[in-house]
Amino acid sequence: MSYELANIQLNRACYLLRKSKYILVCGHQRPDGDCIGSMLALKLTLNSLSKRVSCVISDTLPPNLWFLPGIEQIKSGKKKVKKINKFDLIVSLDSSSLERSGLENLKASTSPVLNIDHHQDNSLFGSVNIVKLKASSAAEILYDLLLKFEIEITRDIATCLLCGIFFDTDAFRNPNTTSHTLEITSQLLSKGACVKKIVRYLLQEKSLSTLRLWGKTLARLSENKKLGIISTVLSEEDIKQSEAGGLEGIANYISCLPQAKATLLLSEKDGLIHGNLRTQRDDVDVSKLALLFGGGGHKKAAGFTIPGKLFKTKAGWKVI
């Protein structure tokens, strides 16, 4: 998108947000630091402009994000949004399609949809789309939008936005970290963003049961030399025995293997198997692999969810 076009979209988004009074903010299934950080930053901003805002997520919230300011105001574990027609605007953050929200009745709304995202498979489903594939995170795009409102970026808003950037860049280690990402980070730090908590809860602190789960995952790594894929599995039973959230942490960690074209973590929950795909190589696009299983994502980090169970056999783990 050219600079002019991007600016027109930002202005249109601003107009929609300004004229709306009751706004629904959604993210994606299996919410992460970018999706939740962005939702909260937008809610805090809109509240300061005297808008009524409802944040709804279809899954439960990972415990490592409970430190975020305002997190208790997110309605989580919902499959449907109550009274969907009372909202005069829907904002979708960090999602390539409305289906990714996991909320079944979003499409029943006739209100405009503002789509703010950075996934390459985004279907441009919004009435206004601010989709920047080069942005590190939805939070980075949101920062540029919030500047247009000429409001004070408070310490809490800054913390939520930095959480999104920090999560999606995997602590500034991913190649999606650009000079613009670091400029915004610098601005957020100067607004008082609580980087200490972000580092502690997103990167450092792990419970004993989480570390044991990591140990199990590492012990099960198996290499498919023909495909160049190194994979591992976690059954529902494994996950139930631990209070670990945020399995993306393990998925990112195992992607350190230099001989792998791609790494894959398969984990099972409620009759569904989620795949976290990662690659460090520039000549591999894991989102294409995820697409084969009905998922999507980015070139270097993608995911999919399929129905099934993981089953241990003598020949190894099987999906049934």
Contacting residues toward Mn ion, per CB under 5 A? 32, 34-35, 94, 137-138, 168
Give how far Cα 44 sits from Cα of 111, 126, 159, 277, 314, Å: 22, 22, 11, 33, 53
Give the Cα separation of 167 and 171 in Å (integer). 6
Residues 27-46, one symbol each (x = binds ligand AMP by CB under 6 A, - = not), give -x-x----------------
The window from 37-45, 59-67, 235-243, 293-301 that contacts ligand AMP (CB under 6 A) reads: 293-301
Least distance between ligand AMP and beta carbon 177 (Å): 15
The window from 36-44, 170-178, 214-222, 294-302 that contacts ligand AMP (CB under 6 A) reads: 294-302
Residue 295 binds ligand AMP (CB under 6 A):
yes
Give how far Cα 94 sits from Cα of 131, 251, 267, Å: 9, 19, 22
- What is the footprint of ligand AMP within residues 97-126 (CB under 6 A)? 100, 119
Q: Which is nearer to ligand AMP, 69 or 297 (CB)?
A: 297
Least distance between ligand AMP and beta carbon 251 (Å): 5
Binder of ligand AMP out of 44, 81, 297, 310 (CB under 6 A): 297
251 binds, among ligand AMP, Mn ion, none (CB under 5 to 8 A by kind): ligand AMP
Residue 132 binds ligand AMP (CB under 6 A):
no
The window from 67-75, 83-91, 195-203, 292-300 that contacts ligand AMP (CB under 6 A) reads: 292-300
- What is the footprint of ligand AMP within residues 258-277 (CB under 6 A)? 276
> What are the φ and ψ backbone dihedral angles of 193, each rounded to 5 degrees?
-50, 135
Three-state DSSP class for residue 62 = coil
Residue number with the smallest Cβ distance to Mn ion: 34
69 binds, among ligand AMP, Mn ion, none (CB under 5 to 8 A by kind): none
CB 44 within 8 A of CB 69: yes
CB 56 within 8 A of CB 80: no
Which element (helix H / strand E) includes 3? helix 3-19
**Sequence-ordered list of residues with C-beta below 8 angstroms from that of 185, at least 6 positions apart, any chain:** 162, 165, 172
Burial 243-275 (b: 16+ CB within 10 A, else e): ebbbbbbbbbbbbeeeebbbbbbbbbbeeebbb
List interacting residues with ligand AMP (CB under 6 A): 28, 30, 96, 100, 119, 248, 251, 276, 295-298, 301-305
